[in-house]
Amino acid sequence: MWLYLLKRLVLAITIIVIAVTLLFLMIRAVPGDPAAVLLGPRATPEMKAQLHEQMGLDKPFVAQIATFFGGLLHGDLGFDVFSQRPVAEIVFEQLPYTIELILVSILWAVVIAVPLGCYSAIRRNSVIDQVTGVLSVATIAIPSFVMAVYALLIFAVTLRWLPAVGAGNGFWDGLTYLILPAFAIGIGWVGYISRLVRASMLEILGENHIRMARSFGISEWRIVARYALPLAILPTVTILGVGIAWLLSSAVFIEVVFARPGIGALIVNAVNTRNYPIVMGVVLVTTFLIVSATTLSDLVNAFLDPRTREKL
């Protein structure tokens, strides 16, 4: 286990280093003066000169990469010349909104999916079981932004039950603003998670200690809720690692549709205004998030299932 942990961490760090190098090269691969490219067409000569100096463009290439990595280690993601603030500050200001959105989405998905999964496992081949079977493939295929626009149209524009755009003020107000966007993302995962819960639930319900409990006359629902469910939910934890990339991608669209703050909205805005330092900052932070999440889920997986340790 310790050897696996070590190997997995080394792999994660290697991937991050390569990713950062690739991104660095990508900026440089764009023809023309990097400073001019980074600043976009609206840059003034003073801004260019300032950035030139900051990036150390007169230094040799290897030194540039070294400075870049050095800066990253200190949490320095670059400098946004337009707002005259460090990129890291801007990105980390927006990140909590996105994480909040993702967490509530997961909550939505779990709240709907777990009961569905349990029900499907207990009443196998019932109508609900078959419907969730179809939904499991269907909901993840439907793009979240279409979901979002429809949800907006129905619940905010037509029915006016929930606020349409923005993030609200304060906790409770903010929560009402989160319901629709989070639903639009979370619904995609309902089918998938419910199938997963169903599968692991079926496996657990077949095990001996559960059959023993059943023979004591404990009701089926009580068995499921009290004994089987805690075990059945565990595997779903590991898919969240794989799912974080998907969630982040969906969040980009959702934040635009509901005009919410967050790193998705930030990067779309930055792309539109050609604000390259911000774009790169968001890519770096999200890549780091994804690598951490997949590494963590792999480790949880290895802890739960010793067979996966062999694979690395």
Partner 1 sequence: MVSVEAIRPEPNDAMATGAFRTFLRQFRKNRLGMLGAVLVILIAAIAIFAPLMITHDPIRIMVGPRLAAPSLDFLLGTDQLGRDTFSRIIMGGRIPLLVAFASLGSSLAVGLVLGLIAGFGPRWLDNLLLLVFDTIRSFPSIIFALAMIALLGPSLASVILVIAITSMPIYARVVRTQTEALRSSEYVAAERSMGAGTTRILAVHVLPNVLGPLLILVSMDVPAVIAVEAGLSFLGMGVRPPTPDWGAILNDGYSYINQTPWLVIASGIPIVLATLGFTFLGEALRDIFDPKLRKDL
Virtual torsion, Cα 158, 177, 239, 6, nearest 10 deg = 160
- 2-29 and 61-73 helices cross at what angle (nearest 10)? 130
Number of residues that bind partner 1 (CB under 8 A): 53
Choice between 87 and 289, CB closer to partner 1:
289
Q: Does 242 bind partner 1 (CB under 8 A)?
A: yes
Q: Is 86 helix (H, G, I), strand (E, B) or coil?
A: strand
Is 132 a binding residue for partner 1 by CB under 8 A? The answer is no
Given 125, 169, 215, 272, the residue binding partner 1 (CB under 8 A) = 272
* Position 297 contacts partner 1 (CB under 8 A): no
Query: According to CB under 8 A, which one of 1, 107, 157, 212 is a site residue for partner 1?
Result: 157
In the complex with partner 1, the residue whose CB is nearer, 175 or 312, is 312
Q: Say how many C-beta atoms besides its own lie within 10 A of residue 186's C-beta.
A: 27
Per CB under 8 A, 122 contacts partner 1? no
User: Strand, helix or coil at 79?
Assistant: strand
Q: Is 286 in the site for partner 1 (CB under 8 A)?
A: yes
User: What's the Cα-to-Cα distance from 69 to each of 55, 95, 155, rounded to whole Å?
Assistant: 12, 22, 47
- The Cα–Cα gap between 267 and 279 comes to 5
125 touches partner 1 by CB under 8 A: no
Choose, by CB under 8 A, the member of 72, 182, 267, 299 that binds partner 1. Answer: 267
137 forms part of the interface with partner 1 (CB under 8 A): yes
- Residue matched to tokens 């039950």: 161
Q: Least distance (Å) from partner 1 to the CB of residue 19? A: 5
Closest CB 245 distance from partner 1, rounded Å: 5
Contacts of 302 (CB under 8 A, 6+ apart): 1, 4, 5, 8, 308, 309
Tokens of 96: 């909590």
Strands (E), 96-155: none
Instruction: Please choose, out of 2-10, 11-19, 48-56, 67-75, the segment that lies near partner 1 by the rule CB under 8 A.
Output: 11-19
26 contacts partner 1 (rule: CB under 8 A)? yes
| Cα–Cα distance, 5 to 64 (Å, whole number) | 32
Q: How far apart are CA 42 and CA 126, in angstroms?
A: 62
Which residues of this chain interact with partner 1, rule CB under 8 A?
A: 11, 14-16, 18-19, 22-23, 26-27, 30, 37, 134, 137-138, 141-143, 145-146, 149-150, 152-153, 157-158, 239, 242, 245, 248-249, 252-253, 256-257, 264, 267-268, 270-272, 274, 276, 279-280, 282-283, 286-287, 289-291, 294
